[in-house]
Homo-oligomer: A and B are copies of this chain.
Amino acid sequence: MMNNDSLKTISGVLSGAERILLFPHINMDGDALGSAAALCHVLRRMGREAFVLLEDKIPDNLAFLDRGYCTFDADRIGEPDLCVCVDCGDAGRFPKRREAFMRGKTTMCIDHHATSDPFCRYNLIDPGACATGELIYKVICAMGQEIDRETGEALFAAITTDSGNFQYSNTTKETHEIVASLYDSGLDANGVSVKIYETVRLEKLKIRARVLENITLYGGGRLCIGFVTQEMLKETGALMEETEGVVAELRSIDGVQIAVFIKEEEERLCKVSLRAKSVGDVAEIAAAFNGGGHKKAAGCTLHCTLREAEEKMRAAALENLERYDK
């Protein structure tokens, strides 16, 4: 087992620090920023000097979480007593801030990813938590601090996004118990939800529509392959990152067991996302192309044209389905 510290130790170290810098991972999501914002808010309320140090832009739909917490200035706090990486357990997840992180007199990791190693001086890594927000909730309680409305809304943002709105299998009884208790803060969960989910760029809707219009089913409807090209992005004005999550929509089609989504990054460079429903093991498919991931969600990179990538994925996925059908 990992070298984890107790909630008592973690909350004690946090309470004892005067100047704290928090590090959510790059390409931050609702859990990374919501968790960091909640902890930063509580630490400031306790009279501490605390900031969330970033290296990339906050996505528009999460901007409401930053109430003056975030900075791009690694020297914003002269000499931090404590640097905490939040929702990540590997310095590779904050590459441009690695040096700033190591400047902390001590370091801490609060994360729920199973792949995280306890590389910090203090570690709270719990893969059983559906979101790092759950762990931050426990840490705040262990510090004896109240969950006010702002904290409650940041933690709700963290938990609802990482649990797939309480639909993913990482959601537990405790998830719902924690959220129930967040309601005591006066939480406007629907308000948070509208901010997160109802500020979709028109270009994003357009590119997703284009992807869905061009999908193809194979193997009697058990395999779905979709793709996005640089030309499609140009025509719709969308960004590549705005196709994220569309592979889940491909998998949601009735009868589809494996969904493949191919992103043409360059003329001979394709990134592939793979998802399986009940049958099939997409980690195997990805591994055959030097990729990786889990049984139901994996990815790989192919150095070939889009058409070649489609053909390779089609053959590999159909073979996988056939094998697992037996």
CB atoms of A167 and B180 under 8 A apart? no
A69 located at the interface, meaning its Cβ lies under 8 Å from any Cβ of chain B in the complex: no
In angstroms, Cα B205 to Cα A201, docked, is 19
CB atoms of B180 and A173 under 8 A apart? yes
CB atoms of A213 and B202 under 8 A apart? no
CB atoms of A180 and B176 under 8 A apart? yes
CB atoms of B173 and A176 under 8 A apart? no
Q: Say which one of A42-50, A101-109, A188-196 lies at the interface with B.
A: A188-196
Q: Which residues of chain B have C-beta atoms less than 8 A from A177's C-beta?
A: 176-177, 180
A231 located at the interface, meaning its Cβ lies under 8 Å from any Cβ of chain B in the complex: no
* A32 CB, nearest partner CB in chain B, Å: 20
A308 located at the interface, meaning its Cβ lies under 8 Å from any Cβ of chain B in the complex: no
User: Does more than half of chain A's interface fall in helix, strand or loop, or is it mixed?
Assistant: helix
How many monomers of this protein are in the complex?
2
CB atoms of A194 and B277 under 8 A apart? yes
A114 located at the interface, meaning its Cβ lies under 8 Å from any Cβ of chain B in the complex: no
* A281 CB, nearest partner CB in chain B, Å: 17
* A176 CB, nearest partner CB in chain B, Å: 4
Q: Which residues of chain B have C-beta atoms less than 8 A from A167's C-beta?
A: 160, 165, 189-190, 193, 197
In angstroms, Cα B248 to Cα A200, docked, is 11
CB atoms of A190 and B210 under 8 A apart? no
Q: Which residues of chain B have C-beta atoms less than 8 A from A180's C-beta?
A: 173-174, 176-177, 180
C-beta contact mask, A157-201 vs B, less than 8 Å → 1, else 0? 000100001111101111011011101100011100110011111
CB atoms of B168 and A202 under 8 A apart? no
A252 located at the interface, meaning its Cβ lies under 8 Å from any Cβ of chain B in the complex: yes
Whether A166 contacts B189 in the complex (CB less than 8 A), given A183-B172, A206-B212, A212-B205, comes out as yes
Whether A209 contacts B213 in the complex (CB less than 8 A), given A168-B190, A169-B190, A176-B176, comes out as yes
CB atoms of A201 and B171 under 8 A apart? no
In angstroms, Cα B221 to Cα A87, docked, is 35
A254 located at the interface, meaning its Cβ lies under 8 Å from any Cβ of chain B in the complex: yes
Q: Which residues of chain B have C-beta atoms less than 8 A from A7's C-beta?
A: none
A60 located at the interface, meaning its Cβ lies under 8 Å from any Cβ of chain B in the complex: yes
Q: Which residues of chain B have C-beta atoms less than 8 A from A206's C-beta?
A: 212-213
In angstroms, Cα B165 to Cα A213, docked, is 27
